[in-house]
Amino acid sequence: MNWLRIFRREQADLDVQQEIETFLAEETAENLARGMSPEESRRLARIKFGNPQQIRENLWRQNSLTALDSLWRDLRFAARTLRRTPGFALIAVLVMTFGIGASIAAFTIVRSVLLNPLPFPNPERLVRLYETNHTAETGGTFSEWRTQNQSFSDMGIGGSKSHSLSGSGNELPEDVVGGMFSRSVLHTLGVQPVLGRNFAEDEDRPSANPTVLLSWGLWQRRFGGSPSIVNQTIRLDAKLYTIVGVMPAWFAYPDSTVQLWTPIYYEVRPSVIRAIGNHQFWVIGRLKPGVAEAHAVAELTQISRRIYDQHRDIAFVANSASASPLLESIVGDVKTPLYILLGATACVLFIACLNVANLLVARSAARRKEHSIRMALGGGRLQLLRQHLMESFLLSSAGGGLGLVLANGAIEWVIRARQDMARVEAIRMDGYAAAAAVGLVALCALITGLVSSFNVRGVTLLATPQQSSRANSSGRASVRLRAGLLSLEVGLTMVLLIAAGLLLKSYSKLRSANIGCVTENVLQMVIRLPATRYPKGQVESFFETFLSRVRSLPGIHGAGFIKGGVPADGYGPDDGFVVMGQPELPPDQRLFAIHRWVDPGYFAAIGIPIQRGRTFDRNQQFGHATEVIISESFARRYLTGEDPLGKHLSIADDPPRQIVAVVGDTRFAPGESAKPVMYSQLLTDPAGEPHSATLVVRSDSDVTQFGIPIQRLLWQMDREVPASDILTLNQVVGRSILNVSFDAFLLAAFAGMSLLLAAVGLFGVLTYIAVQRTSEMGIRIALGAQKEHLLKLVLVDGLRPALIGLALGLAASAGLTQLIRSMLYQTEPLDPVVIVVVGSVLLLVAIAACLVPAWRASQLDPMRALRA
């Protein structure tokens, strides 16, 4: 049966009309031939034919699919109804668009980042391996693990190393984030380069010729995607590297900022990568099929324990191993915030549904007369329900369609705004997003449709026309329903507001948290000298000359160099040390502290107070270091009750150096507690290749204006030396808490949106209730009720559900805010200030929303009200 005939009904009808005419003409002609009069002929022909209308109707019905037809009719009816109230339709669609769009976006992000498996073959067998109590692993332990284990099909070790990529021709040199892979990393992950090959065995060793794997992005951007790139050379830190391959476009490990990879055993000196106490690498492994993670970890722990027992004299050797799924190790940090985000959007969606349902309820109550008349004429309840659903279906599909567009924009924005987020490169809209959209549309249609048609059930014949013409409080049940919906809405809004308030407070605390130095008008800039062109002596003179030129710029109040990162720019390197003269500690209790390398002018430049002693002696700055400076908490923790000045430290088994000063504490991230820091003189770091350092300058006024002049100074000295990360210290602080501000402002936006929705809901429903009670008000006024009394009456009507919602939200928040405890800084989940502020804001908005309808009700003219 060809159901498409439904679209040809008009044509079929025209055809049959023509056929009927032909029939009548033929019959008439025959009758004429039989000798009848023309009139008689026509009459008999018509009699013989019967009712032509009926034939047309029969055919029409035959060509129709009844179910589809009535659905179509309902749809058109719903569309007509909505067109009649464009304002209502527009608001409802917008509300739905926002709710559905935000939810699709959040769903897509959560799915892409947290739920989608990593794009490697059998990703469930990939694990990140740890040496217990360390965040980074050692090359020594790795090679023992790799050669002795039975549980893994392969293991790889990697690290990070940035390079200065020289331009060819007119291109500027640029700093690129690089990764170091052992040859086995790609094999462990199960990935092949799309072009070329992995590092060969003899390229992953110290004596090899330099080789490099390019990321797809770098290949496209810098080399125009040329297919003949393999075996060509590029200059990294002024050294020629042969390109052996290009990785696939989707490949991003450890993250999407990495643009090229070099062999780790070539890059890192054997003394570092073979050491069992030097934690600065990551290790991944692929479990053999059928081997449980716990079993594998137990095996590695055994190996680690053996190493530990054999080398009790070396500090920082771990005595056990642990593991986590590779996906978990990548996205673990963003899990809570993303689920919170999803929860928030779900709340907003639910509020949006409730709001639309509320609007529909208000409207359907206004259509009670219409409904009861239709039922009196034989309309079934099911039919009415179907029409209700059809209306909400139309609204939510329009919202869903627009929501997809909105979600697309939102996702693009998130990708741009959060380049730092784990797996951000994996976020994309796909079939699942579309399926989610369809599902959400259906869900919203069902929720709003069913909720709003609850009171259709209550309609009984005749009762309604009678009731609504005279009696004034139409349908207690529907009023109660609406009040209930409102309470729920306000409650959810309260939860969102409290969560957003907590995050915002926590953010502002972080933002203003003292990091131990001046943050206003301080500019930083990372400068990297290519190691091959600048042997040791030249680096020193370059930095010294550059620094003196920068200091001579008018308006600059201080300039200095630091290696390892300014305060708030991360934990950076640390080292073990021994305080000379203190009793020897057992090896597993060796001391360690954050380690930075600075020039004598650094403390003054960035405003870290020197509390005792003096800064480094300028004369011996670039000579052999004999001095060291410690932070306040270092002195407090490791030299308790002693005079630190004059004591000697041996850092990382170097010759002992004398402590010449104690300086103020700094924080490596806003909100962190002060950790012990020791400062060595710039360029005494033995691992300091390539020679990069961060320039810090301070001025009185807008410091950003010095960015260009300083770069020009650098350019005058060497055109091949790039300056990167040119940021004010405030920007550095902002960058390090970007995730916090992002979460806080996003949640605040959602909370604000739901507050607005709740206000609109309150306003709409209260207006409606007030209109419903117009004649009652009229009677009251006629009987002498005061205006203030009426005002209060309507206000209470609206505020009661708001207050109930407030209490509900507060109760729910007590439990739910515990979930975001880990995201809060110096803020308790039930912070009284936040709760009071949020509660009063909500209450004020509720009062404002109720005031207009209440005031209108109190201004009623009794005569007109009674006639209404």
Task: Give the residues lining the site for other proteins (CB under 8 A).
Answer: 1-2, 5, 12, 15-16, 18-23, 25-27, 29, 48-51, 54-55, 58-59, 62-63
What single-letter amino acid sits at 637?
R
Token readout for 453 is 């048609």
Nearest C-alpha neighbor of 573 from the set 136, 214, 271: 136
Token readout for 592 is 């360690």
Token readout for 779 is 């009677």
Helix (H) or strand (E) holding 598: strand 591-598
For residues 501, 502, 504, 510, the Cα torsion angle rounded to the nearest 10 degrees is 160
- In the complex with other proteins, the residue whose CB is nearer, 54 or 640, is 54
Q: How far is the CB of 63 from other proteins (least distance, A)?
A: 7
Q: How far is the CB of 29 from other proteins (least distance, A)?
A: 5
- In the complex with other proteins, the residue whose CB is nearer, 17 or 271, is 17
Question: Phi/psi of residue 645, each to 5°?
Answer: -60, 130
Q: How far is the CB of 67 from other proteins (least distance, A)?
A: 18
Q: 121 preceded by cis ω (within 30°)? A: no
Q: How far is the CB of 1 from other proteins (least distance, A)?
A: 7
Pairwise CA distance, residues 645 & 525, whole Å: 32
Q: How far is the CB of 49 from other proteins (least distance, A)?
A: 5
Those residues with Cβ within 8 angstroms of residue 97's Cβ, 6 or more apart along the chain or in another chain: 398, 399, 402, 403, 406
Q: How far is the CB of 16 from other proteins (least distance, A)?
A: 5
Token readout for 382 is 């099911």
Q: How far is the CB of 48 from other proteins (least distance, A)?
A: 8
Q: How far is the CB of 5 from other proteins (least distance, A)?
A: 5
* Residue written as token pair 């929705």: 757
- In the complex with other proteins, the residue whose CB is nearer, 56 or 374, is 56
- In the complex with other proteins, the residue whose CB is nearer, 11 or 818, is 11
Q: Are 775 and 472 in contact (CB under 8 A)?
A: yes
Q: How far is the CB of 43 from other proteins (least distance, A)?
A: 16
Q: How far is the CB of 23 from other proteins (least distance, A)?
A: 5
* Residue written as token pair 């529909």: 360
Sign of torsion, CA 137 139 142 148? negative
Q: Are 517 and 607 in contact (CB under 8 A)?
A: yes
Pairwise CA distance, residues 391 & 81, whole Å: 8
- In the complex with other proteins, the residue whose CB is nearer, 20 or 446, is 20
State whether residue 166 is helix, strand or coil: coil
- In the complex with other proteins, the residue whose CB is nearer, 46 or 369, is 46
- In the complex with other proteins, the residue whose CB is nearer, 5 or 636, is 5
- In the complex with other proteins, the residue whose CB is nearer, 47 or 377, is 47
Question: Phi/psi of residue 398, each to 5°?
Answer: -60, -45
- In the complex with other proteins, the residue whose CB is nearer, 3 or 586, is 3
Neighbours of 570 (CB within 10 A): 13
Q: How far is the CB of 32 from other proteins (least distance, A)?
A: 10
What single-letter amino acid sits at 626?
T
Q: How far is the CB of 44 from other proteins (least distance, A)?
A: 13
Q: How far is the CB of 51 from other proteins (least distance, A)?
A: 7
- In the complex with other proteins, the residue whose CB is nearer, 2 or 640, is 2
What single-letter amino acid sits at 560?
G
Radius of gyration of the chain (CA): 38
Token readout for 704 is 């950003």
Q: Are 93 and 101 in contact (CB under 8 A)?
A: no
Pairwise CA distance, residues 322 & 297, whole Å: 6
Please classify residue 490 by burial: count the beta carbons closer than 10 Å to its beta carbon, then call 0-12 exposed, 13-18 middle and 19+ buried: buried
- In the complex with other proteins, the residue whose CB is nearer, 19 or 430, is 19
Nearest C-alpha neighbor of 860 from the set 794, 778, 796, 804: 778
- In the complex with other proteins, the residue whose CB is nearer, 65 or 687, is 65
Q: How far is the CB of 72 from other proteins (least distance, A)?
A: 20
Those residues with Cβ within 8 angstroms of residue 425's Cβ, 6 or more apart along the chain or in another chain: 250, 252, 256
- In the complex with other proteins, the residue whose CB is nearer, 60 or 432, is 60
- In the complex with other proteins, the residue whose CB is nearer, 20 or 94, is 20
Neighbours of 387 (CB within 10 A): 23
Please classify residue 272 by burial: count the beta carbons closer than 10 Å to its beta carbon, then call 0-12 exposed, 13-18 middle and 19+ buried: middle
Q: How far is the CB of 28 from other proteins (least distance, A)?
A: 9
- The strand pair at 239-246 and 211-214 is best described as parallel
- In the complex with other proteins, the residue whose CB is nearer, 7 or 624, is 7
- In the complex with other proteins, the residue whose CB is nearer, 49 or 72, is 49
Token readout for 475 is 């349908």
- In the complex with other proteins, the residue whose CB is nearer, 3 or 554, is 3
- The strand pair at 723-728 and 556-563 is best described as unpaired
Q: How far is the CB of 434 from other proteins (least distance, A)?
A: 35
Q: How far is the CB of 27 from other proteins (least distance, A)?
A: 7
Token readout for 214 is 């390019």
Q: How far is the CB of 10 from other proteins (least distance, A)?
A: 13
* Residue written as token pair 């026309």: 465
For residues 217, 222, 224, 228, the Cα torsion angle rounded to the nearest 10 degrees is -100
- Cα-Cα end-to-end distance for the chain: 56
The DSSP bridge partners found for residue 196 are 245
Give the side-chain half-sphere CA count within 13 A for 357: 28
Token readout for 397 is 């599909």
The DSSP bridge partners found for residue 681 are 598
- Render 801-827 in DSSP notation, one character per residue: HHHHHHHHHHHHHHHHGGGGGGG-SS-
- In the complex with other proteins, the residue whose CB is nearer, 62 or 582, is 62
